[in-house]
Amino acid sequence: ADTDGDGVVDGVELDGGTDPLDPSDFEGDVVAVAPFFFDFETGSEGLVADGGGWERGTPSAGVSVAHSGANVWGTNLDGNYGNHQRAVLYLPQIDLGALTEPTLSFRVWSRMSSGDAFSVQLEQDGVWTVIPPATPAYGATDPLGNVGFGSLGRYVNYELALFDLSAWAGETVRLRLAL
């Protein structure tokens, strides 16, 4: 199988010492050219889950409804996530070449245990760094010491999260949501 869609069979990648679920292990083609938006109704849109926690589908627990349409990316769509769980959702490479003030925005709802958080991270030179949102502010810390979102939306509402990517305008970036 070719889970990451880079044209190389997973077994060959593993034999070569790379992880087929980690987009930072290979260059691959740029999947998304900004400006664009993801529509979770038609498929995974190039997002890749690692760590066994993220899944795409219709939620039946928690907020139990998508912000729009029927599908979401979330953790355990029919129950609670595992406390202190480590899971990553990789976005495809994003070409910001045509933009001068790029922004990442998405709707988020989360209910987390104390000591858990999830963050948006950007990869540069093989190092993943937490990037702060313009709004709302991160208000929690995960077990690894990374700041991130804790509980947002308080049971019934989605909140708009905005991230200023202007520092990377003109570049191709890799982003992930890390729990």
Is 22:90 a contact under the CB 8 Å cutoff? yes
Q: How far apart (Å, rounded) are the C-alpha atoms in residues 85 and 87?
A: 6
CA atoms within 13 A on the CB side of 176: 22
Predicted structure pTM score: 0.76
Rounded-to-integer distance, Cα 104 and Cα 100, Å? 13
Q: What are the beta bridge partners of residue 147?
A: 141
Cα separation, 78 vs 75, whole angstroms: 9
Find out whether the peptide bond into 143 is cis, omega within 30 degrees of 0.
no
pLDDT in tens, 31-69: 676 677 777 787 777 788 886 778 888 888 777 777 888
- Higher-confidence residue of 134 and 32: namely 134
Q: How far is CA 147 from the centre of its chain?
A: 15
Q: What is the pLDDT of residues 153-175, one digit of tens each?
A: 555 678 888 889 999 998 888 89
Compute CA distances 108 → 126, 161, 164, whole Å.
27, 7, 16
> Which position has the higher pLDDT, 135 or 9?
135
Distance CA(129)–CA(120), nearest Å, equals: 8
40-62 CB burial, b ≥16 within 10 A, e <16: beeeebbbbbbeebbbbeebeeb
For residue 172, what are the β-bridge partners? 95
pLDDT surpassing 60 at residue 26:
no
Is 29 or 172 the better-scoring residue by pLDDT?
A: 172
Binning pLDDT at 50, 70 and 90, where does residue 121 land? very high
Q: What is the mean pLDDT of the chain?
A: 77
